[in-house]
Structure 1
């Protein structure tokens, strides 16, 4: 018997595991992921990534598996008018598709960060 046919037949008989895992953590600037773990995606659910911005500045991201109680719903520029925060949620359903690296809308220039740091050192000196 052809080895390829044997492999295909074995997959049908013994079943192929289609376990999809998602990243799960709260990611903050400079530090990265807090309490990182992997979660197993249940059938019919999707991985979520929610990026939170204040204006164009990224504040944090929340990565997790969707659940029946909190399924993934894609949202772009959902705004909390009280706090002035924007939320962007993306959904995906392949293994580790919700990357731990959020897209930055507008990276802060290094010179600006250095100037703020120098001002902080001067003030606290």
Structure 2
């Protein structure tokens, strides 16, 4: 469980952050020329020393950011990372309860074994990638 969670949680966090940052940057990059108008794009073209209008660069960068955000969202959804993390955390907590129950004498070995096997079945989805 710990190995899976140590890989899956940071991956989930990175994908969520990529979605947020990519979407925000895409919006900001397209808003700049929309709000600033032609004066802003002419100024930015001059500052960057571009041979073509700066709005083209901004739109291209916005497209890349938007694509990153979309891919990150799709990976998060299609790999069911959130669901798997929640299930792994639940299994880990059940195992901790079993350990405490055995240690304190609240469970006998037969009960603990039965519950442990249920946890193993529930954790069949685990894969470390």
TM-score tier by shorter-chain length is: under 0.3
Q: Which TM-score applies when normalising by structure 2?
A: 0.25
Q: Which TM-score applies when normalising by structure 1?
A: 0.26
Specify the structure having the higher radius of gyration (Cα).
2
